[in-house]
Amino acid sequence: MSNAGSKRAAQPIRRVKGTRDLLPPDTAVWAAVEATARQVFERYGYGEVRTPILEETELFVRGVGEATDIVGKEMYTFTDKGGRSLTLRPESTASVARAYVENGLQQWPSPVKLFYIGPQFRYERPQKGRYRQFFQIGAELLGDPGPISDAELLLMLVDFLGALEFTGLTVLLNTVGGEESREAYRRELVRFLEPKKDLLSEDSRRRLDTNPLRILDTKSRAERELLEGAPRLVDSLTSEDREHFEAVRGVLDRFGVSYRLDDRLVRGLDYYTRTVFEITAAGLGAQDAIVGGGRYDGLISEVGGAETPGIGFAIGADRLIDVLPESFRRRALPAPAVLVATVGDVPLDEALALAQELRAAGLPALAELARRSVKNSLKRADRLGLAHVLLLGADELAAGEVTVKDLSTGDQVRLGRAEVADRLRSVAAAGSPDQDDEEEER
């Protein structure tokens, strides 16, 4: 039991390592990014899916793959009071696949298009851009195997990033082939690496047995050099896999999507087949991937459904927002409110009454809720980054007027109460170029 009566100051409780508190005004930017995702995705016929954050551990073991880093070392897994092994989802595609099967979405008109927005959990070493709780915005297209689906999904992704005002991002594109191509390539790669085993890191030696393709992902310079002479996956592709990839590229070319082929791109998850892609952004340091995705034609059957093709992506929202273009961020920030204050012994609820009138007219407004001197109200408004303070003294009240003080110039005018909302609206519209100055104070 806690010693609630004790006078000793309690030790402050800190947030869990690798998690973050998101605070205003940043949360307004998050909300705007999420609203933009909904808007763009819905234009492409995607509907939102919300799956539980908790899943049976087995879902990820089977869906993501036992040999992956995620399942091998990064999951938040625990036994609940009923003795079940549960896991905080480390990603959402496996959950969406489970929900698709469990809710009979195979019966829906195909393809089924779903998007999600939510937290994911991975026990990774925290650093800039890498958290233990992070957020993903993702989309999945289920039920269509064709290359047009791959291309349409990428077009939607590019559209979304464009709506956030990103420019100059390039999609890194590759194909990892289907089961048959991959099996053939795995053999080739192992044949090449086996004699050089001693030169590999411990991790890569282990992967040679469990998941050799992942070695291509290595960050080690020495291993990268070693891999330069390695066989290439593209040479092991079946003709169907090759045609699929060429068709995807053809559509992307037609729509002017800029991409770069990267034949080392394999992605860390087991379920990918054929098309895989990633988008990286400058300015993020080592953790520079903001989007990852690809086709996963074997996943639905892996979690117990009928064979169903799928393709999707996951955007790392934390990183995306870290490098969000300033123009979008600025527009997303809430319009600064005005502060309504009373003067002298005018009752405080008169300030509240005026604030309510402004709010009813659709304007953001703050009312002084405690008695303060005009000087202190002005100081507070300044710290809050507000442009105007509205003052209600006994005079104004009697005359049905308000004194509007412009904090940047110090000018003040008295207006009829009915005019205040219109005046503030027109000042806000005319004043938007000034936002630069406000920006710096934030």
Contact positions with ligand AMP (CB under 6 A) in 145-174: none
Note the helical H segments in 217-266.
Answer: 221-227, 239-254
Smallest gap from Cβ 433 to ligand AMP, in A, equals: 34
Part in contact with ligand AMP (CB under 6 A); list of ranges 249-257, 287-295, 372-380, 386-394? 287-295
State which of residues 130, 186, 196, 380 lies at the interface with ligand AMP (CB under 6 A): 130
Q: Which is nearer to ligand AMP, 143 or 292 (CB)?
A: 292
Tell the smallest beta-carbon distance from residue 85 to ligand AMP (Å): 21
- Position among 319, 329, 388, 405 found at the interface with ligand AMP (CB under 6 A): 319
In 3D space, the residue among 264, 285, 278 whose CA is nearest the CA of residue 217 turns out to be 264
Alpha carbon distance 289, 355 (integer Å): 45
User: Using the rule CB under 6 A, which residue among 316, 337, 343, 403 binds ligand AMP?
Assistant: 316
The site for ligand AMP, by CB under 6 A, has a size of 17
Q: How far apart are CA 223 and CA 246, in angstroms?
A: 30
**Using the rule CB under 6 A, which residue among 63, 292, 310, 336 binds ligand AMP?**
292
What is the closest distance, in whole angstroms, from the C-beta atom of residue 345 to ligand AMP in the complex? Answer: 54
The answer to whether 124 contacts ligand AMP (rule: CB under 6 A) is: yes
Is 291 among the residues that bind ligand AMP (CB under 6 A)? yes
The Cα 119–Cα 94 span in angstroms is 14
Which of left, alpha, beta for 168 (phi over 0: left; psi -120 to 50: alpha)? left
Binding track over 69-108 against ligand AMP, x by CB under 6 A: ----------------------x-----------------
Alpha-carbon distance values, 214 to 237, 365, 378 (Å): 17, 55, 60
The residue among 314, 317, 324 whose CA lies nearest residue 135 is: 317
Q: Which is nearer to ligand AMP, 63 or 393 (CB)?
A: 63
The token pair that represents 180 in the structure block: 């048959």
Tell me how far apart the alpha carbons of residues 278 and 268 are, in angstroms, rounded to a whole number.
11
Residue placing its CB nearer to ligand AMP in the complex, 305 or 316: 316
Question: Binder to ligand AMP among 223, 270, 318, 396 (CB under 6 A)?
Answer: 318
Of the residues 62, 89, 98, 122, which one makes contact with ligand AMP according to CB under 6 A: 122
**SS3 call for 406:** strand
| Contact with ligand AMP (CB under 6 A) among 131, 160, 185, 296 | 131
Q: Which residues, 6+ apart, have CB-to-CB distance to 294 below 8 Å?
A: 176, 267, 272, 273, 274, 275, 276, 277, 311, 312, 313
Residue 336 is given by DSSP the state: P
Does position 140 bind ligand AMP by CB under 6 A?
Answer: no
Axis crossing angle, helix 239-254 with helix 147-163, rounded to the nearest 10 = 40
Compute the chain's Rg from CA coordinates: 28
Q: Which residue is nearest to ligand AMP (CB)?
A: 316
Determine contact, residues 320/287, Cβ cutoff 8 Å.
no
Binding residues among 207-266 for ligand AMP as defined by CB under 6 A: none
Output the smallest distance, CB 294 to ligand AMP, in A.
9
List the one residue from 51, 87, 136, 149 that touches ligand AMP (CB under 6 A): 136
Q: For ligand AMP, give the closer residue by CB, 270 or 368.
A: 270
DSSP labels, 352-383: HHHHHHHHHTT--EEE--S---HHHHHHHHHH
Polymer length in residues for the chain: 442
Q: Does 417 bind ligand AMP (CB under 6 A)?
A: no
Choose between 46 and 131: whose C-beta lies nearer to ligand AMP: 131
Least distance between ligand AMP and beta carbon 102 (Å):
22
Residues that bind ligand AMP (CB under 6 A): 91, 122, 124, 129-131, 134, 136, 268, 289-292, 314, 316, 318-319
